[in-house]
Amino acid sequence: MEIIEKAPAKINLGLDVLYKREDGYHELEMVMASVDLADRLTIEELPEDQIIIETNKAFLPVDKRNNVYQAAQLLKERYGIKKGVKIAIQKQIPVAAGLGGGSSDTAAALRGMNRLWNLGLSTEELIEIGVKIGTDVPYCLYGTTSFIGGKGEVVAPIRPIPSCWVVLVKPRISVSTRTVFPKVDVEKIHHPNIAALKAAVAAGDYKQMVANMGNSLEDITIERHPIIQQIKDRMMKYGADVALMSGSGPTCFALCQKQSRAQRIYNALKGFCDEVYLVRTLN
């Protein structure tokens, strides 16, 4: 039996860091949406008790360092599964880009193995496993526009954001989330109004949504990588309704209601950065 799962990229419409928790994580408030740039996972059962991960990106680990490998191991241990599994990951989402590719792959693997082994686990049960691997995994298990709280484990779906075009631009640098959060000073960072953003999304009000978007981590990453600000400036210059960094970066995205504007931004940035994508939001 072969199961195929899509793993869409996510963007942060809003990200606020409230404080550092006693467990070492930061308390977050976020609004996330998914876009139609996606990895593709092919999941097959093996008769021998082993986990095999394959990927089209040679630099990605395929052993215990891989999040999908960890997901398979956790699921097998928890439910006493003696069969093996082979998971082939066809990567399209840029790596270490702030687009949640690894988390989305993990979520897709959990969904797929749940079906493969007829475990009948609810989304909440999968979240309990997924959050042990990555804090964006719970959102990716839902995959629909949501408010996210806690360290990422609190997910409350809102409604799909008003349909629009998205231009994603990843500069030729990678940013590890682990290097950004230690630099967070909650007294100094910008705090976007997540409550107003959430209300705007719930009301389907595109204009108010755009007005209230923001990312607490932007200034920290921009200080180390000024190209992010240059990308945002170019996006606005060529007609973006809003331009923002996603997650801890370095990918920036522009939202446009008009396809012609999105196409213009795409064309303008294509020569500036190698990885530029023109996509839609997912409903």
Task: Pick out the residues of the known binding site for ATP.
Answer: 94-104
Q: Is 241 a catalytic residue?
A: no
136 catalytic residue (yes or no): yes
- The active-site residue, picked from 136, 170, 198, 232, is 136
> 41 with 112: CB under 8 angstroms?
yes
Q: Which residue type, as a one-letter code, is found at position 60?
A: L
Q: Residue 163: CA atoms inside 13 Å, Cβ hemisphere, count?
A: 2
Annotated catalytic residues are 10, 136
